[in-house]
Amino acid sequence: MTEAAIIEHAATPTVAKSANVLAKGALVLLLLLALLYPDQGNLRDKAAGMRAVGYPLISFTLPVLWWTLWRERMSFPWLSDLLITITCFSDILGNRMDLYDTVVWFDDLMHFANTGLLAAAFILLTLPRDIGFGRVLERALAFGATAAIAWELAEFFAFVSKSTEREFAYADTLGDLSLGIAGAVVAAVVLHRSWQHGRLLDPEPLPPRLAV
């Protein structure tokens, strides 16, 4: 089968495509509302401006890269893009619904789940589906730990350092890092088992020589 045929026949469930478009649209809408009405979005003193800039950049980076570099070589990675978008959308939605301040375990859930989702997206984009579990786990830990550290640094400089809660920041940071790494490990297990059972195989990632 030719490369073009592989691209044409790469299957992605319609639900993933629809969910991705809806999540991106909802994210942009929630960010606009948060900027216009920060009190209603529960983002006052929580780096609403940084989120308004950073989240669209994160959510639309993969489509831009695919369009400019990879569209002739692979079908669009809808599932990976959806996983990335969900991490941004769930954070904004959680703040909008005031879950961070009213549900004691919600912040922990977000660190666990969102780091896992980002690690899963990275693995789907960069690893072949027939690879061993050790390599999958290695990639998940490398990306998950890096992402968790980057988030904690951004969170500290954005608002924790100026908050009355900074005296508890050390313990909270250790917990968040541990949860993020745990989420990445779970992502590695779920993806590898899915590949072994013939699921989540499309589209294959680009070979290293075609990545640029």
122-141 residue pLDDT tens? 999 999 999 999 999 999 99
Mean pLDDT score, 176-184: 95
Provide the CB-side half-sphere exposure for 146 (13 A, CA): 9
Instruction: List the one residue out of 55, 73, 70 whose CA is nearest residue 7.
Output: 73
pLDDT score for 90: 94
32, pLDDT greater than 80: yes
pLDDT digits (tens, 9 = 90+) for 102-118: 999 999 999 999 999 99
Q: At what angle do helices 14-36 and 48-65 cross, to 10 degrees?
A: 150
Instruction: List the one residue out of 15, 12, 20 whose CA is nearest residue 85.
Output: 20
5, pLDDT greater than 50: no
pLDDT score for 8: 38
pLDDT score for 193: 96
209, pLDDT greater than 60: no
163, pLDDT greater than 90: no
1, pLDDT greater than 80: no
pLDDT score for 47: 66
Query: What DSSP line would sit under 162-175, residue for residue?
Result: GSGGGGGHHHHHHH
What is this structure's pTM? 0.84
- Average pLDDT of every residue of the chain: 84
pLDDT score for 29: 92
User: Is residue 7 within 8 Å of residue 69, measured between CB atoms?
Assistant: no
Share of the chain above pLDDT 90, in %: 53
- Provide the residue type at 112 as one letter: F
Model confidence band, residue 3 (pLDDT cutoffs 50, 70, 90) = very low
Share of the chain above pLDDT 70, in %: 80
